[in-house]
Amino acid sequence: MPKASIGVIGLGNMGYGITKNLAKNNVPLLAWDASPAARKKAEKLRGVTIAKPGEMAAQCFAIHFVVPATPQIEQCLKGKDGILAHAHKGLILCDHTSSDPVKTKKLAAKVAKQGIEFIDAAMSGGGAVGAEQGTISLLVGGDEKIFKKIQKYLKMFSKKIFYMGPIGAGQTMKLISNMVLHTTFVAACEGSRMAEKAGIPLEKAIDVFNAGNARCYVTEARFPNHILSKKWDARSIVYNLNKDVGMAVKLGDDLGVKPNVGRQASRFLKKAMKMGMANKDFSLLYRDFDKIQKM
């Protein structure tokens, strides 16, 4: 297989959508996931071949990581069947995770010793639906020349691509963006619960938010589509929100910003984690808001 092939590691909600869009563009694809069910689903896509990370490293022009965070990338790199043992010089690793940018910089420096290029291209906006529809935004950090080499593939599943600067800059902006988004979600939950306690129907409270300056993506999309509908299907889990906000708060502290509003949201999410909600759809944070607050 020529080194024009693309690899995708991580075939969950986001990774499957990315793989599907690349396949639509007739890109020769190698794909991998630790889950047999995820591999089986992706294998049904035209032009997709299931292959382990080491095989990808030898055959692909670039590999996209759509896994939870840096530890999962590191796992794919090591061992006799890992990427480092088989990578060709010039291989591009594209990190789509929400990770600590400090760790990402260290990882990029490590693989560079073997002639492997590394960029971070954090995903923002649209979630799993956006990934499947090819409308997500990407926040890119890394060598701009390497970014330009891979840009045409990124455009196959992204509507807007922002080059943010050196390695780690994309993930830094993603953490900041997610902290604002998830903090807004918690605030909207709090305000909506206040309205309900005062005898105001939730749907009417959301209508008022959306008719005024309190409107935001959370009130315009999340509440109508996943909470008011009682579907509870926002397609991301509480663990992810807790991870991202926690990392963003730490980043803010390291930068001397003191992100106290984000810290309050982080405390709320940690309570939800203690309640056993780690793997629950995050829309359920509203349903269980009172219980979480009492923790």
Mean pLDDT in the chain?
95
Q: Single out the residue of 114, 113, 178, 112 nearest to residue 146, CA to CA.
A: 112
Q: How far apart are CA 126 and CA 129, in angstroms?
A: 6
pTM given for the model: 0.90
Of all residues in the chain, the percent with pLDDT exceeding 90 is 92
Model pLDDT, residue 3: 56
Task: Check whether 1 has a pLDDT greater than 60.
Answer: no
CATH 3.40.50.720 domain locations along the chain: 5-167
Residues 170-217 pLDDT 10s:
999 999 999 999 999 999 999 999 999 999 999 999 999 999 999 999
Q: How far apart are CA 101 and CA 31, in angstroms?
A: 25
Determine if residue 122 is left, alpha or beta; phi over 0 gives left, psi from -120 to 50 gives alpha, anything else beta: beta
- Mutual angle of helices 169-197 and 101-112, in 10-degree steps: 160
Residues 15-70 pLDDT 10s:
999 999 999 999 999 999 999 999 999 999 999 999 999 999 999 999 999 998 99
CATH 1.10.1040.10 domain locations along the chain: 172-293
Task: Check whether 4 has a pLDDT greater than 90.
Answer: no
As its CATH architecture, domain 172-293 has Orthogonal Bundle (1.10)
Question: Could you tell me which residues are beta bridge partners of residue 123?
Answer: 138
* Mean per-residue pLDDT, 261-286: 98
Range in 122-136, 142-156, 191-205 with the lowest mean pLDDT: 122-136
Homologous superfamily of the 5-167 domain (CATH): NAD(P)-binding Rossmann-like Domain (3.40.50.720)
Model pLDDT, residue 215: 97
Question: What does DSSP say about strands 60-65 and 5-9: parallel, antiparallel, or unpaired?
Answer: parallel
